[in-house]
Structure 1
Amino acid sequence: MGLERRTERLVMRPWTTADLEPFARMNADPEVMEHFPAPLTREQSDALATRAQAGLEQHGWGLWALEVDGRFAGFTGLSRPSWNPALVEVGWRLPRWAWGNGYASEAAREALRVGFEEAGLDEIVSFTAVQNIRSQAVMQRIGMTRDPADDFDHPSVPHGHRLERHVLYRIARPAVSGGHAAAGTLAGQRDN
């Protein structure tokens, strides 16, 4: 299978040079980057896209560029945090125009499917600053659960910074029964 994945409304695909400008605009938007220590410079944004594409090519999964009706809509996918490469995180970042449409949940479910069914992962996590209620809602919608005992101070955020404290959500590989995922797992979940 190639690197591209599709859902009902979305294309999750490799990165192109045409993505760099809208990606940089999104990463420079203070509202999009509200729950990160700072917006990204153009150079930081381009470097992130380059790393994302390299990860896709290396593993066959990673952070895909997200497209809605032919328009660049941010990214979603799987990555290993540099501060704990034993973990695999599902994450997303979308421009404001794409918020509130269920795109993050739809794409994240497909990323989870790839992680469990294609990459053979046993567990996938997601984390965000405590204040990021929107992302926590996505985590809950895609079936992830939080144990407050797993919350942590993010090692890449300066000590005492308002975004230092993070929540951690987890999801385990769905149980398989007779060759089909158990009822209520990823394939059967949809946003209402």
Structure 2
Amino acid sequence: MTAPTVSPQSAWPTARLLLRPWQDSDREPFAALNADPEVMRYFPSPLSRAQSDAMVDRIQQRMAEQGWGLWAVQRQDTTAFIGFVGLARPNAELPFAPCVEVGWRLARAHWYQGFATEAAREALRIGFECLGLPEIVSFTAAINQPSRAVMERLGMVNRGEDFDHPAVPEGSPLRRHVLYRLS
């Protein structure tokens, strides 16, 4: 049996969600979640509409170039856009690079329902089964317990490889990061 093709047009269903290409209609709700201080509490700052739109542009460009990336996530029951989940090659100079990271960012109304874990499991499956990746990592600010819990539910392992994220200013409580790995 041949592995599914990964292309920028690929959509990946889960039990309750759809990981899909981005649509212009996603930009407004994505900007709203990026402007939410609670959603962005483990990032240096919320994003402006221009910054959020520029992020969508970068995501779409990478999808076009490599066929995979950070997919828009929508609920199957309501078709509502709820955020992104997917795979990315981090831009920052990280001590464990090069690597592929699994990451997520969901609107607050969709937290604590298992959506991040469900969608990230599908992203991991795509990475291992379709892309043939030998390892996928995830990292976050050490104080970000909700994301760490998702990583652990995914079976990812923290081997104590904490690091200071070079894009976060010294003295920030967000600078210290934890690294999780899955092979």
TM superposition shift of 1:168: 0.4
2:120 maps to 1:108: yes
Unaligned runs of 5+ in 1: 173-192
Query: What's the TM-score, normalizing by structure 1?
Result: 0.87
* Partner Cα separation in structure 2 for residue 50 and residue 106 of structure 1: 25
Letter in structure 1 aligned against 2:87: L
**Matched residue of 1:101: which SS?**
coil
* Partner Cα separation in structure 1 for residue 104 and residue 147 of structure 2: 9
Q: Show the counterpart of 1:66.
A: 73
- Give the number of equivalent residue pairs: 171
The 8 Å contact of residues 28 and 40 in structure 1, kept in 2 or not, is answered as: yes
2:27 maps to 1:15: no
2:35 maps to 1:28: yes
Among 158, 164, 167, the alignment partner of 2:169 is 158
**Matched residue of 2:120: which SS?**
helix
* Partner Cα separation in structure 1 for residue 13 and residue 63 of structure 2: 15
What are the residue-to-residue correspondences of 1:138-153 with 2, within 5 Å? 138-148=150-160, 150-153=161-164
**Matched residue of 2:102: which SS?**
strand
**Matched residue of 1:91: which SS?**
strand
Q: Show the counterpart of 2:52.
A: 45
What are the residue-to-residue correspondences of 1:174-185 with 2, within 5 Å? none
Which of 1 and 2 has higher RCO (CA within 8 Å, sep 6+)?
2
Percent identity for Structure 1 against Structure 2: 56
Unaligned runs of 5+ in 2: none
The 8 Å contact of residues 151 and 168 in structure 1, kept in 2 or not, is answered as: yes
Letter in structure 1 aligned against 2:140: T
What root-mean-square deviation, in Å, do the aligned CA atoms of Structure 1 and Structure 2 show?
1.0
Letter in structure 2 aligned against 1:70: T
Query: What's the TM-score, normalizing by structure 2?
Result: 0.91
The one-character-per-residue Cα deviations of 1:74-118 (angstroms, maximum 9, x if unpaired) are: 000000110245110000000010001100000000000111111
2:15 maps to 1:4: no
The 8 Å contact of residues 3 and 56 in structure 1, kept in 2 or not, is answered as: no
Q: Show the counterpart of 1:136.
A: 148
